[in-house]
């Protein structure tokens, strides 16, 4: 049953007349006269109901359908190796990529006690609700437990992958045979994890700001900034020359 709209005419001290909508939804506005509607649009008190532009938090979006309809764009928005977050989770074509997550997560958790790992998972579980709100509404059909598990595993995978690439860690390079494609997948619009999850997980192995610096270094290397890309590529080439 639709809510009944209630209008209240409010006179401010400066004798400006404005309209307050007490109940109902956006369709209530249609019942206003043009003058009332314009007053509502320009009145900042309308923000408390519809939200100020400045108060709206950015969300992890999905590519617009009109972009996907372009033939040359169809494969630009979907991961090819690994899914991160809920949008592409469970796709059959990404099963192989799913298998490399646990080995890398184990490397990330290596040398940590079971108690520490359990505490870390609990911390991720505690922020999972906040992280859920970072995704477009209606697209995170996960239970609290399944969401926390996915974010824990994906987060450990991401951080170990970045650490391994930045430092050319042999165990990481041996595990990931499609490193460039994984790198591509991590930058996709629909393949993201809320930063609040990574912040929790970074506390395990990084001091304050060290984890963020590692991610910044990774991005700089990918962008090929002077003095960065050459060193990384040289390390990777040397590794494969010795081991392949």
- CA dist 171 and 17 (Å) reads 69
Spell out, as residue ranges, where the chain has pLDDT lower than 70.
Answer: 1-29, 44-56, 138-140, 178, 225-244
- CA dist 58 and 56 (Å) reads 7
* H helical segments located in the chain: 34-42, 47-50, 65-68, 95-99, 101-109, 114-132, 144-167, 170-175, 179-186, 195-202, 210-223, 229-243
Task: Write down the pLDDT at residue 107.
Answer: 93
- CA dist 236 and 176 (Å) reads 12
Burial category of 198 from C-beta neighbours within 10 Å (exposed 0-12, middle 13-18, buried 19 and up): buried
- CA dist 8 and 18 (Å) reads 8
The candidate with the shortest Cα–Cα distance to 183, out of 231, 224, 235, is 224
Task: Write down the pLDDT at residue 173.
Answer: 75
Quickly count: other Cβ atoms within 10 Å of residue 238's Cβ: 11
Give the start-to-end residue ranges of the domains of the chain.
7-55, 65-243
Task: Write down the pLDDT at residue 52.
Answer: 53
DSSP assignment, residue 45?
G
Task: Write down the pLDDT at residue 145.
Answer: 93
Task: Write down the pLDDT at residue 84.
Answer: 96
């Amino acid at each position: 049953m639709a809510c009944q709209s209630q209008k209240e005419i409010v006179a401010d001290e400066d004798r400006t007349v404005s309209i307050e909508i007490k109940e109902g939804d956006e369709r209530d506005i249609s019942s206003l006269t043009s003058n009332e509607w314009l007053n509502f649009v320009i009145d900042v008190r309308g923000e408390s109901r519809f939200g100020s532009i400045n108060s709206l938090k950015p969300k992890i979006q999905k590519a617009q359908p009109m972009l996907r309809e372009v033939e040359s764009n169809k494969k630009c928005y979907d991961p090819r190796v690994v899914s991160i977050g809920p949008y592409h989770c469970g796709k059959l074509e990404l099963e192989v990529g799913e298998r490399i997550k646990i080995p890398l997560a184990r490397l990330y958790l290596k040398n940590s006690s079971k108690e520490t790992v359990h505490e870390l998972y609990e911390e991720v579980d505690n922020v999972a609700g906040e992280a859920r709100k970072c995704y477009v509404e209606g697209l995170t059909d996960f239970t609290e437990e399944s969401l926390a598990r996915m974010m824990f595993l994906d987060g450990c995978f991401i951080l170990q992958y970045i650490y391994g690439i930045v430092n050319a860690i042999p165990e990481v390079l041996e595990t990931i045979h499609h490193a460039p494609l994984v790198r591509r997948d991590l930058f996709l619009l629909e393949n993201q994890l809320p930063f609040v999850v990574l912040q929790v997980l970074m506390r395990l192995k990084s001091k304050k700001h060290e984890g963020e610096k590692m991610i910044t270094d990774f991005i700089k290397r990918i962008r090929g900034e002077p003095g960065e890309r050459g060193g990384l590529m040289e390390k990777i080439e040397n590794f494969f020359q010795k081991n392949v």
